[in-house]
Amino acid sequence: MRHILAFIWKHSFFFLFLTLEFIALILIANRSFYHRSVFSNANDNFTGSVLTSWSGITSYFSLKQENKLLSAENARLMQLLTKSQVSNDTASEYVNDTLYKQQYTYTPAQVINNSASRRDNYIMLNKGRRMGIKPDMAVINPQGIVGTVVSVSENFSWVMSLLNKHSRISARIERINQMGTVIWEGGNPATGTLIDIPAHVKVLPGDSITTSGYSNIFPEGIMIGTVEEITVDKGAHFYTIYFRFSADLNSLRHVYVVGNLFREEQIELSKKIINGEVPR
């Protein structure tokens, strides 16, 4: 009897192991489902408040660098002001407010958690649904793009970093205006990969890679990185281009969450094509 019990005991260990692994694998596979659950919301609010107080401490260590970045950005924006430019035109200048319609909104946010060492890296921001953050908003910093918002709770949001295997950003090489896709192959957090650039065009090291504006998430022309190494497999029609991210994704502090006010309209329109309402 004792032996039988011992036998069952040994197997109960194994079966509990299987059960727990099964639960964990279901969580991994159904990440999006988990994010929609109430539990995830409460959990995010808890971890968010812990991480906020911790980043309150650590933010002091990077104040100097952050100030430098912010003042550099201020200087850049100052140059864009009409005040600091001289008109070439002899005709009198007029400003027509209805000429421009705002498409993108910028919400400043602070990074309270970030990683670069995993295969899938996520960033937590201290702004959430209450401040108007929604999934599929873009996240950028003064140096370049950072990622995309994937889930929000009341006061916090998780951002999928560029350093993530699910991250695919529509990009182009500024100089030759060629479209491609930015992905990350893991490993070095400073280097990304640009694919889908046809091999017949000439790409040079040092070329700027910027957002294409075709994704209805990122505004057009925001810096992603600069080309470092260009390779093409034998017989392949497309380059594999390695480039350096312009934003230091391992030391983020202040970022902007960018919302596209026309996003719904753009999606609505593209749905018409997918549904076949418009003749192709």
Interface with another protein (CB under 8 A):
9, 12-14, 16-17, 20-21, 23-28, 31, 34-35, 43, 46-47, 50-51, 54, 113-120, 122, 124, 158, 165, 185-189, 250
Cα separation, 44 vs 151, whole angstroms = 10
Q: What 3-state DSSP class applies to 35? A: helix
In the complex, the smallest distance separating the C-beta of residue 109 from another protein, rounded to whole angstroms, is 16
In the complex, the smallest distance separating the C-beta of residue 247 from another protein, rounded to whole angstroms, is 16
Residue number with CB closer to another protein (23 or 278): 23
In the complex, the smallest distance separating the C-beta of residue 93 from another protein, rounded to whole angstroms, is 49
Residue number with CB closer to another protein (168 or 263): 168
The encoded tokens of residue 98 equal: 């209805």
Tokens 């670069």 identify what position? Answer: 116
Residue number with CB closer to another protein (118 or 272): 118
Residue number with CB closer to another protein (55 or 208): 55
Region label for 37, one of left (φ > 0), alpha (ψ between -120 and 50) or beta (otherwise): beta
Cα separation, 158 vs 181, whole angstroms = 22
In the complex, the smallest distance separating the C-beta of residue 243 from another protein, rounded to whole angstroms, is 16
In the complex, the smallest distance separating the C-beta of residue 17 from another protein, rounded to whole angstroms, is 4
Task: Specify whether the CB–CB gap between 172 and 209 falls below 8 A.
Answer: yes
In the complex, the smallest distance separating the C-beta of residue 266 from another protein, rounded to whole angstroms, is 28
* Residue closest to 259 by CA, chosen among 217, 224, 220: 217
* Residue closest to 109 by CA, chosen among 149, 143, 80, 78: 149
In the complex, the smallest distance separating the C-beta of residue 187 from another protein, rounded to whole angstroms, is 5
Residue number with CB closer to another protein (191 or 208): 191
Residue number with CB closer to another protein (56 or 198): 56
Q: Dihedrals φ, ψ of 45, to 5°? A: -65, -40
The encoded tokens of residue 18 equal: 């299987």
Task: Specify whether the CB–CB gap between 181 and 239 falls below 8 A.
Answer: no
Q: CB-based contacts of 73: which residues, under 8 Å, 6+ apart?
A: 142
CA angle 173, 232, 208 (to 5 degrees): 20
Cα separation, 109 vs 216, whole angstroms = 21
Residue number with CB closer to another protein (12 or 105): 12
In the complex, the smallest distance separating the C-beta of residue 22 from another protein, rounded to whole angstroms, is 9
Cα separation, 19 vs 39, whole angstroms = 20
Residue number with CB closer to another protein (183 or 222): 183
